[in-house]
Amino acid sequence: MSTDIAWEEWGRKEPYFGVITNQKFRRAELTTEARNEFFESGRAHVKFVFEMIRKYINPAFDPASVVDFGCGVGRLLVHFSPVAREVVGLDVSPSMLEEAKRNCDEFGVSNAQLLLSDDQLSTLSGRYDLIHSFIVFQHIPPERGRMIFRQMLPRISAGGVGALHFSYAKTCHAATYGVAPQSVPSAASAWRATGSIRKPGADPEMQMNPYHLNEILFILQGAGVRRFHVEFTDHGGELGVFLFFQISP
């Protein structure tokens, strides 16, 4: 699973830049001001998530338990912590989880569990009121991501909410409506750094994988979801959808 290996390397070498790819978040350039900005962006995101849920899904939403899938260094986890009794951070990188633990300690978070993730989500037990993931699935090959997505849905409690982000297209393929044309041998090869030509000391691979939204929606409807709210995203030409939905009570 090359993406897991690469993500652990990001966790060891550049954990903050691996989460938000801006030069100011590289280890060598991470000032106190930049670090504060990094975590403030997490606060703003969590605020946005709850605004969307309460506006479009459930005005009285008040989760007792939250899972952040692909939690990285805890940018969002430390801000989910005050709004729930229990928060869980999942990540495939032990180094990311170690950094998340340090950040939870620094922020005074005492209600967080940090768990190593796998494709079966086997470290999760029970059900959760909110399962959230943002700018994470895009780094996972779709055949794996679909399976993880399927595993997530039964772990959302009755009446609970999913807030999940998927990339689906790239603006450089505008002529083919965001989909890589057949003349491109592999969509993934155009959307990632190729490990075979990686130079010594270069950054690890970071895949940017598109998902077929009809597959995502098919899985969602098959799980009994009857309505959802969507917010479009654009990260440097990587187009995505942030889906908000409720599991039927």
Confidence of residue 181 (pLDDT cuts 50, 70, 90): confident
Confidence of residue 51 (pLDDT cuts 50, 70, 90): very high
Architecture of domain 2-246: 3-Layer(aba) Sandwich (3.40)
In 3D space, the residue among 192, 84, 100 whose CA is nearest the CA of residue 132 turns out to be 84
In 3D space, the residue among 169, 166, 154, 163 whose CA is nearest the CA of residue 228 turns out to be 163
Residue range 68-124, pLDDT digits in tens: 999 999 999 999 999 999 999 999 999 999 999 999 999 999 999 999 999 999 999
Confidence of residue 201 (pLDDT cuts 50, 70, 90): confident
> Is the alpha carbon torsion for 59, 64, 69, 72 positive or negative?
positive
In this model, does residue 191 exceed pLDDT 50?
no
Rounded-to-5 percentages of helix, strand, coil across the chain: 45, 20, 35
pTM of the model: 0.93
